Amino acid sequence: MVEKTEKSETTKAEKIPVWDLPDVPKGRLPPHIQLQRTRVICTSDAPIHTENISYSGAYASMGVDNSLRLDDFHRNFRVEVINLTEDDMEFDIIGIDASIANALRRILIAELPTMAIEHVFIANNTSVVQDEVLSHRLGLIPLKVDPRLFDYKSENDEPNEKNTIVFKLHARCERISGKGSEKESSRISVKSSELVWLPNGSEFLLSTENSNLDLTSKSKTYTSFNRSQDSLPEFSNNPIVPKHGNIVIARLGSGQEIELEVHAVKGLGKTHAKWSPVATAWYRMLPEVVLLQEIRDEKAEELVKKCPVKVFDIEDIGKGRKRATVSRSRSCTLCRECIRGDSWDQLVALRRVKNHFIFTIESTGALPPEVLFTEAVKILEDKCERVITDLS
């Protein structure tokens, strides 16, 4: 019993009192806390430290102010364009929170206006495509026109040259007569290139039934254009056409015919997907691949083979030795193949940078992707101003 008591007293004596612990450095975070604050750690099972700590006093005990300051945001924020084509754009947004990146994505999809076909007037349709399906297909055809040049049209507004675009379509598959019997021609495809812009408005006359039996309305059409749209400087040298002319609208057999007129108006993607200006808009956090130890020779070759997207390369260090290096961390998809297996997670670390987003915009063609992004920023700015005004 005496020996046990002496042993326990010796163990207690070896413990370090709280007041003898080293002081927490003031004005900066310890490395492991800073890593949790700025990175998402991807383990072999699941990502951890995914939350953003926005509370201003979260690190007050360490002398670190966690509040958002405008001068810090202005100093750290930047946009870097990585790839830009006519319809696609890939760029980096650095120095923002995930909520801002997601707000821009949602605005691009649902709150940027475009012009799309809303009303379809069918004079004749003998094809196998039902009128409703035909109208739906026409509505999804993207139009190459700047929606900023047009006004919104409400239910009570008359369709005019500032809020409506009119197209007509007339296609027929003719029959070919044979010697003894009628020989049918092959089927034809009706494509979006056959939509003809009518700058003077509708050519379909209103019926007396729709005009309360007013005989003077027989010459009145479905639109009230005061002037031709091609006389406007915006369209004089830039006619309005579908963005892609090879979209198949319907297939016509022998003797079948489609004759119709469509009216395009301005709208938002949150009302219907046909008004969405993007095919897709998405983002991901910048991947960060770190080698925790130097990996050489056979281990290095094994690591290169494990990665399906070739993030790692082999570097020759002389005397027949070689080591693994990280050469394409941006291509990492976080499939975690490189950290699966025995002790690989002790050699390689996979992370994502919390304030660095790789953003991709695929435009449908109404506006270039760089214009879509700037317009989305303007809408977000207007929303913020309205909130600040309401709070004040």
Domains 30-112+277-392 and 114-275 share a fold: no
From residue 192, alpha-carbon distances to 229, 242, 249, 265 in Å are 21, 7, 6, 18
The beta strand positions in the chain, using DSSP E, are 39-42, 47-48, 78-84, 88-94, 114-125, 143-144, 165-172, 176-177, 182-183, 188-191, 196-197, 241-242, 248-252, 257-267, 278-291, 312-318, 321-326, 348-363
pLDDT score for 8: 47
How far is Cα 372 from Cα 180, in angstroms, rounded to an integer?
60
C-alpha distances out from residue 249 to 115, 131, 185, 199, 234, Å? 18, 12, 19, 22, 28
Q: What local confidence, expressed as pLDDT, does residue 60 receive?
A: 86
**Angle, CA 351 vertex, CA 344 and CA 306 arms, to 5°:** 40
Specify the length of the chain in residues: 392
Residue 359 and residue 366: Cα distance in Å, rounded?
Answer: 20
pLDDT, position 142: 95
Bridge partners, residue 83, by sequence: 90
Query: Which residues, in sequence order, are bridge partners of residue 322?
Result: 316
Q: Which CATH class for the 30-112+277-392 domain?
A: alpha beta
Alpha helices in 153-296 (DSSP H): none
Write the secondary structure of 73-121 as one string of H (helix), E (strand) and C (coil).
HHHHCEEEEEEECCCEEEEEEECCCHHHHHHHHHHHHHCCCEEEEEEEE
Q: Which CATH number fits domain 114-275: 2.40.50.100, 4.10.140.10, 3.40.109.10, 2.170.120.12?
A: 2.170.120.12
pLDDT recorded at residue 70? 86
CA angle, 245 as apex, 243 and 251 as ends, to 5°?
135
Read off the tokens for 284: 């991901």
At a CB cut-off of 8 Å and minimum separation 6, what does 193 contact?
241, 242, 245, 246
Q: Which tokens is 10 given? A: 């010796």
- Phi-psi sector, 225: left (phi>0), alpha (psi -120 to 50), beta: beta
Q: Judge whether 317 and 261 are in contact, CB under 8 Å.
A: no
Q: What whole-number distance in Å separates Cα of residue 50 and Cα of residue 43?
A: 12
Distance of CA 218 to CAs 157, 208, 209, Å? Answer: 21, 6, 10
Question: DSSP assignment of 139-168, as one string?
Answer: HTS-EES-GGGS----TTSPP-TTT-EEEE
3 state SS of 356? strand
- What pLDDT, on the 0 to 100 scale, is given for residue 25? 64
Q: Name the residue ranges covered by the structural domains of the chain.
A: 30-112+277-392, 114-275
pLDDT tens across the length of the chain (392 residues): 444 444 444 444 467 776 665 666 667 888 888 999 999 999 988 899 998 888 888 888 888 888 888 888 889 999 999 999 999 999 999 999 999 999 999 999 999 999 999 999 999 999 999 999 999 999 999 999 999 999 999 989 999 999 999 999 999 998 766 554 445 557 899 999 999 999 999 999 886 544 454 544 446 889 999 999 988 888 888 899 999 999 999 999 988 999 999 999 999 999 999 999 999 999 999 999 999 999 998 999 999 999 999 999 999 888 888 999 999 999 999 999 999 888 899 999 999 999 999 999 999 998 999 999 999 999 999 999 999 998 87
Determine the Cα–Cα distance for residues 322 and 316; give it in Å rounded to an integer.
Answer: 4
Would you say the C-alpha torsion 119, 371, 359, 83 has a positive or negative sign?
positive
What does the block give as tokens for 303?
């690591």
Task: Say if residues 354 and 38 touch (Cβ distance below 8 Å).
Answer: yes
